[in-house]
Amino acid sequence: MKETAIFAGGCFWCMVKPFETQPGILKVVSGYTGGQVPNPTYEQVTTGLTGHTEAVEITFDPEVISYAELVNIYWQQTDPTDALGQFADRGTSYRPVIFYQGDAQRKVAEASKKALAASGRFSEPIVTQIEPAQTFYPAEEYHQDYYKKNPLHYGRYREGSGRAGFLRENW
């Protein structure tokens, strides 16, 4: 049995490795979702005019890793107080969103967001959106497994964008 989860947390390059390295993860695909244009390209999405958000689609075995565990991993890759992008990546195509598939995922995501808000970890409100999943379009091949194909650039980007420092300080 397998399920899927879709998360948007800024640049999809940085959202693959934290999930892919977990037991029970079968596949992580970088792509685009939430917009109006069918089969969008990276160039189209980055204009901010398609309505799409960079995201990852995670195929997982729920008997090994639960959706709730995936949501917890998701929070720890993002700044949940920034609705206008993530780190150096700004605009709607980089907004943080948990795209749920079905009522069970919606309930888990909403409860997790509420718990994070109540935890006091952040002084600002938790603004990550929780929205119904829409069609997910895989990104171009050069975006898939970017951290493996371009490890030096990936590492510099993760640090230079401010993501790595924020995560170290806040999670």
Catalytic residue numbers, as ranges: 11
CA end-to-end span of the chain: 31
Two structure tokens written together for 44: 């189209």
Over its C-alpha atoms, the chain yields an Rg (Å, rounded) of: 15
Helix (H) or strand (E) holding 98: strand 97-100
User: What's the CA gap between 163 and 158, in Å, rounded?
Assistant: 6
Contact (CB, 8 A) for 166 and 122: no
